[in-house]
Every structure is written in structure tokens, then in C-alpha cells.
Amino acid sequence: MNPVQSILDRLSYQVRSPAITTCGPCSKGCGKTSRGGAVCWQCLIEELPEGMRGKARSWRIHQNRAQRTWWDLERMAEKAA
């Protein structure tokens, strides 16, 4: 696997987090929280080539919104049951 694809895979893991997970400090020591105490999404984006960073940030925002919407739908389904 090429290094950029590896970063994208780890970024996907950080951003597409489940409703329940363990978190810890970023393993790069930036002070932010990350899923599983690995490298946080902000540091992973900085590892990408400069030309990819803006798209990666936009993707993360989209993923967060989509995930919150999904959790809202799950809560609505629970109330409807």
C-alpha cells in the first residue's frame, strides 16, 4: 500500500468513529483527542501532501455531518419503536 493511501485509511478510521469508542490523547503528542489513542485526524491531514489537505478537511466535515444525521435517525427509530 502506498503511504498516502495508508494515511487516508487511518484518517477514515478516525473520522468514521462509532457511537461508542475509546479515546485517548493523540499519539503524536499534539494534545488533541483521538480514537483509540492513535494519531488524531488533524495530524493525519497534515501528513498528506499539501494539495490533498483541503479536500481531506472538507471530507471530514461531510462525514461528521452524515454521521450525526445517522445517529439522529437511529434515535428517532428507537423512539418510534
* pLDDT for res 40: 93
Question: Which residue range is the domain that position 63 belongs to?
Answer: 3-80
* pLDDT for res 68: 87
Backbone angles phi, psi at 67, to 5 degrees: -65, -40
Residue 21: half-sphere exposure toward Cβ, Cα within 13 Å: 15
> Element (H or E) spanning 46, and its range?
helix 41-47
pLDDT tens per residue, the chain (81 residues)? 688 888 888 888 888 766 677 889 999 999 999 988 899 999 999 999 999 999 999 999 998 898 888 888 888 988 886
* pLDDT for res 73: 85
Tally the domains of the chain. Answer: 1
